[in-house]
Structures are given as C-alpha cells and as structure tokens.
Amino acid sequence: MSIKVALFGPEEMVKLVKELESTVEGIEIIPYVYQTPRETEQLIQKAFDCDIYLFSGIIPYYYSKRFFHMFDRPAIYIPDNELSVSLTLLSLFYHHQVGFNRLSIDLPDRKYVDSVMKQLEMKPEVLYVQDYPWMKEKYDKDFQVNDILSMHRDLWNQGQVDVIITSIHAVSDRLKQEKIPCVRMLEPERNIIDSLKEAKMLGELQQSQQAQVALGLVKLEPSNETDNKANSHIYQGLMGLAKKINCTLQQSSSDFFVLYGTKGSMEFLVKNINLLNPVYARVEQQGKVVSIGVGFGLTIVEAERNAHIALTYSEKQANENAIHIVTEEQTVINPKKESHTVSVLKSENEDVIQLAKSLKISVMNVMKMVQFLASRPMNHFTANDVSDYFEVSKRSAERLLKKFADGGYLHVVGEEQPFQNGRPRSIYRLDLPFQYHNQ
C-alpha cells in the first residue's frame, strides 16, 4: 500500500516535488496548492485521508502547526540549509556576477549563510540577512511577510543592494511585480528527495500504528439482566456500527458488549462520531444510557486495560451517553467535545514531574495544562476557558491557576468585559519552564 503524502506548497514548488515523486518508491503525493502560506490553515483540514503532511517550507508548516493535534498525523517540511545557500549563491554569481556584499537575503536561519561564508573563507564587509529562527520555538507569534518585504525594498531603494535572495514565494512575487531584481532560494533535489524518503518512513510508521490493537467496552445502564429483548434491539444497532467501522462485536452479558478492532478503525469512528447516533437512539428508546470505553495498546492485554480506564471516565457522566478513549500513551480523549478534550494519566517527562511537585498539583493536571496551551493559537486565556477545557467548575479552575500564579508562571496580561454589567475577567498568559508544543 502506497504512503499518501499531502504536499502543501505554491504551484511552482509542488510541480518541482511532483517531478521527483518517482525517485522514492511506494509514495503517492496528493498536492494542495496555495497562493499564500496562511491558506494551509484551511487546506490541512481537507487532507484527513493522507498518512503524512509535507510542507514546502517552515512558514506553511508554522501556520498549520496548531491543527496537527486534531489529525494525529506526522508533519515535516522541506528544509533550507547550507546546500540551499551554496547552490543559490553559485547560480547567482555565475549568471549575474554580483558581489556578496550587494545582496539582501532572507531565510529561516542565518547560520546557514554564516556556515557557507566560513567554509569558503569569505568575509564580506556588509552582510544583509533577515532570518526567523524563532519559528522553531515560538508558537503564538504572528509571522509578517511585509516586514521582510519592506527591508528588502528599503535596501534596494537606498542603492545598497543589487539583488534580493528570498526563501518566500510571496516576497519573490511581490518584488518581481515591483521590477526589483529578485531570485528564489533554490531547492536542491537532494533536500527534496531526502524529505520524501523521511515522509515515506514516517508514513509507514503511521500505518503500523494504525494497525495496533484497539478494544471497545460498551455498557448499558441501568443494568437489567432480564430485559433481554430490549438489549437485543440495542445489540443489533451495535452490530451495524461494528460493520461500518470494520470491527468484531461480542456480547459478554445482556448489558455488556466488546468491540475488537484496530486503532485505525476506532479512529475512523472518532472522526465520524455521528455513526454512534443510531446506537444512541436505540438506547434511549429503551430508557437507558450507554457508556463506552475504547483502549489502544500494543497488545490485547494493554488495550483491554486502557479500555477499562476509559469506561470509568464515561461512567462518571451519569445519565448521559458517553465515550472516552485511552491511548497507548495513557492519554484520555473525549471525542464528543468539539475540541476533543484531552487529558493525560501519566508522564515520563522529568520537567513535568518536577513542576507538578513544586506546585503541589498532580502530573495529570500539569499535562492537561500543557495540552490546553498546545491547542490554542495564542497563549491568552481566561479562567472560564480553563474551566471549559478541564470540565470543572470555575472555582476549581481558579484554584488551579492560583497554583501556577504562586509558582511565578501565570501572568495577568489584560481583562475582558463579557457583559455590560458583569465583572471583568482577567486574561492570563502561562509561561511554563519547558517547551510544550506538539511536533
């Protein structure tokens, strides 16, 4: 089975990568062409059936990063590096014979330029370089193409440079419209092929993970062992569900059922959660509610253990149909929530463990806060936001935030007035002592 690679990039770059598709066996590139990098925020939501996301550069990757957790797919980008710089400079000097001190360059990290200069023993008097290495670390900063464009334009208008080298298609297009000499940073075939090989490897890993064991426990409440006819009606609904998601159903007792499948089949259910509606309708016709717990694992024993944990979470939602998932990493997911509420039962991250000890709160609450921050495009929020995400009262959310404030990690950055006569709400920023982004 081929690895489906969703490729996000401008038309020129997509064409170049597609020409090299045949150099890596076992992949199928699905192109998603954009006019501006920010369009990837919408395009990525259309690529849900691909195994991996490949971006033409770090900028479209950066814009889409906050959506990665929604799709559980690996994501990489084709890098700029010393090879890109060397190839571009060689081409430029050969065709245009421009002095290095008469160039204005933008690229993700100027260290690649500095490295080439050092190895070639070149020491230009002036070096006009703009970079944005913070993209690898920051996740709530807005990238402004116009800032880079303005610096290039100013240097040209002041007569300080003869040619601009840019890594950004939008900058190249604009400068060419203004008749300012500009060349795009060249993409070496080697970088593209290496990225395609990495995409294939990660895609194969993704497919193997999709084949992991998954087990679902379905419990009807209130329990009534003599109500066999009613439960048989529900059983038929569950059989229909099992066929749709390619699982096997086994009835353990009159009110307890087990679904056997793969991680991929259960994730299909999560992405198409409305498939549960016919089951819920049959359950409600009998005056019951259903609690569902799904567990993932490398073995059937591990999957069953996680499914029982997930079932206990669903049973806590009394008088309500509920489904929870516990992954092999001990992450708890509530897919019925629009935001797919996530919590974590354990962590092997020493930084997380130490922070939990210092603040005297549970590791799970620290990890839930990590997930909360990673799910938000900006590190600005209110106590109500935390209350909604953690599914606790506002007072409990405020107590948790006070722990972070006492530790010096929570800062008030403003306030909002939600209602005309209501009390203003504080807006917070939380600066954790470690990186919390999703890769």
pTM, two decimal places: 0.58
Question: What CATH number labels 3-78+190-208?
Answer: 3.40.50.2300
Rounded average pLDDT over 10-26 = 95
pLDDT, average across residues 223-250: 83
> Looking at per-residue confidence, does 84 or 97 come out higher?
84
Is pLDDT larger for residue 89 or for residue 376? 89
**CB-CB contact of 203 with 3 (8 Å):** yes
Residue 43 reports pLDDT greater than 90: yes
DSSP codes of every residue in 258-307? EEEEEHHHHHHHHHTGGGGHHHHHHHHHTT-EEEEEEEEESSHHHHHHHH
Decide if domain 349-430 falls under CATH 3.40.50.620. Answer: no
Walk across the sheet containing 256-262 and list its strands: 248-253, 256-262, 213-221, 289-297, 322-326, 331-334, 341-344
DSSP 307-324: HHHHHHHHHTSTTS-EEE
- 5, 28 Cβ separation under 8 angstroms: yes
Place of tokens 């900063």: 141
Amino acid at 1: M
Is the model's pLDDT at 359 over the cut of 70? yes
Mean of all residue pLDDT scores within the chain:
86
Q: How many CA within 13 A on the CB side of residue 201?
A: 7
Question: 8-22, 59-73, 285-299: lowest mean pLDDT where?
Answer: 59-73
Residue 246, CA atoms < 13 Å, CB-side half-sphere: 9
The whole-angstrom separation of Cα 246 and Cα 195 is 33
Name the residue ranges covered by the structural domains of the chain.
3-78+190-208, 82-186, 211-336, 349-430
Distance, CA of 287 to CA of 230 (rounded, Å): 10
pLDDT tens sequence across 174-191: 999 999 999 999 999 999
Cβ contact 54:6 at 8 Å: yes
* Residues 366-376: tens digit of each pLDDT: 888 887 887 67
Q: How do beta strands 52-55 and 75-77 pair?
A: parallel
pLDDT of residue 221: 86
Query: Pairing mode, if any, of strands 27-33 and 52-55?
Result: unpaired
Reference 426, options 382, 367, 387; nearest CA is: 382
Q: How far apart are CA 47 and CA 60, in angstroms?
A: 15
Residue scoring higher pLDDT (48 or 86): 86
- pLDDT band at residue 200, thresholds of 50, 70 and 90? very high
340 pLDDT above the threshold of 60: no
Between CA 420 and CA 423 the distance in angstroms is 9
Instruction: Please state which CATH number belongs to domain 211-336.
Output: 3.30.70.270
Task: Output the furthest CA–CA distance in the chain (Å, rounded).
Answer: 90
Domain 3-78+190-208 and domain 211-336 have a common topology = no
Are 402 and 383 in contact, with CB atoms under 8 Å apart?
Answer: no
Query: Looking at residue 23, what is its pLDDT?
Result: 95
| Amino acid occupying residue 147 | D
Cβ neighbours of residue 413 closer than 8 Å, sequence gap 6 or more: 380, 427, 428, 429
Listed in sequence order, the DSSP H helices in 337-409 are: 350-359, 363-374, 383-390, 394-406
Contacts for 86 with CB less than 8 Å, ≥ 6 apart:
116
Could you give the 3-state DSSP secondary structure of residue 439? coil
pLDDT band at 437 (very low <50, low <70, confident <90, very high): very low
Task: End-to-end CA distance of the chain: give it in Å, rounded.
Answer: 25
Phi-psi sector, 258: left (phi>0), alpha (psi -120 to 50), beta: beta
Least confident of 82-91, 116-125, 188-197: 116-125
pLDDT of residue 149: 94
Strand 322-326, strand 256-262: pairing = unpaired
Is the pLDDT at 146 greater than 80? The verdict is: yes
Q: Is the confidence at residue 45, as pLDDT, over 60?
A: yes
For a pLDDT cut of 70, what percent of the chain falls above it?
90
Q: Which amino acid is at 115?
A: S
Q: How many Å apart are CA 439 and CA 184, to the nearest integer?
A: 28
In terms of CATH, what superfamily is 82-186?
Answer: PrpR receptor domain-like (3.40.50.10660)
CA separation for the pair 197, 25 (Å, rounded) = 9
Residue 150 has pLDDT above 50, yes or no: yes
